[in-house]
Amino acid sequence: MSAQEHLAAARADAARRGPFTIAGRELRSRLVLGTGGFPSLELLTAAIEASGAELVTVALRRVDPAARGSLVDVLAAAGVELLPNTAGCFTARDAVLTAKLAREAFETDWVKLEVIGDERTLLPDAPELLLAAEELVADGFVVLPYTTDDPVLARRLEDVGCAAVMPLGSPIGSGMGIANPYNIALIREQTDLAVILDAGIGTASDAALAMELGCDGVLCASAISRAQDPAAMARAIRGAVDAGRLALEAGRIPRRRYAEASSPMDGLADLS
Partner 1 sequence: MTQHANAVPDVAVVGGGIVGLFVAWRARERGLSVVVLDAGDDEGVAWPVAGGMIAPISEAQFGESGRRALDLALAAADRWPSAAQELGEASGIDPELRRSGTLLLARDADEAEALERERAFRVSLGLPVEPLLPSAARRLEPALAPTLRAALAVPDDHSVDPRRVVAGLRALLGDAVRGGARVASVAADGVELDTSERVAARRVVVAAGAWSGELAGVPVRPLKGQLLRLLDPAGPGLVERVLRFSTGYVVPRGDGRYVVGVTSEERGFDTVVTAGAVYEILRDAGELVPGIAELELEEAIAGLRPATPDNLPLVGEDGGLLWATGHGRDGVMLAPLTADLVAGLLAGDPPDAALLEVCDPARFASGPATRTAA
Binding site for partner 1 (CB under 8 A): 39-43, 45, 49, 62-64, 66-71, 73-74, 77-78, 228-230
The one-letter amino acid code at 202 reads: G
CB atoms within 10 A of CB 56: 23
Nearer to partner 1, 74 or 92 (CB): 74
* CA distance linking residue 122 with residue 171, whole number of Å: 7
* CA distance linking residue 166 with residue 163, whole number of Å: 10
* Closest separation in Å from C-beta 219 to partner 1: 20
Nearer to partner 1, 68 or 256 (CB): 68
Nearer to partner 1, 61 or 100 (CB): 61
Nearer to partner 1, 161 or 171 (CB): 171
Tell me if residue 100 is catalytic.
no
User: Which candidate, 58, 112, 109, places its Cα nearest to that of 80?
Assistant: 58
User: Which candidate, 81, 47, 70, places its Cα nearest to that of 221?
Assistant: 47
User: Which candidate, 108, 119, 117, 120, places its Cα nearest to that of 82?
Assistant: 108
CA distances from 61 to 10, 45, 64, 146 (A): 37, 21, 8, 16
CB atoms within 10 A of CB 40: 9
* Closest separation in Å from C-beta 48 to partner 1: 8
Q: Which one from 6, 11, 103, 112 is the annotated catalytic residue? A: 112
* Closest separation in Å from C-beta 118 to partner 1: 15
* Closest separation in Å from C-beta 39 to partner 1: 6
* CA distance linking residue 256 with residue 187, whole number of Å: 26
Active site positions, annotated:
112
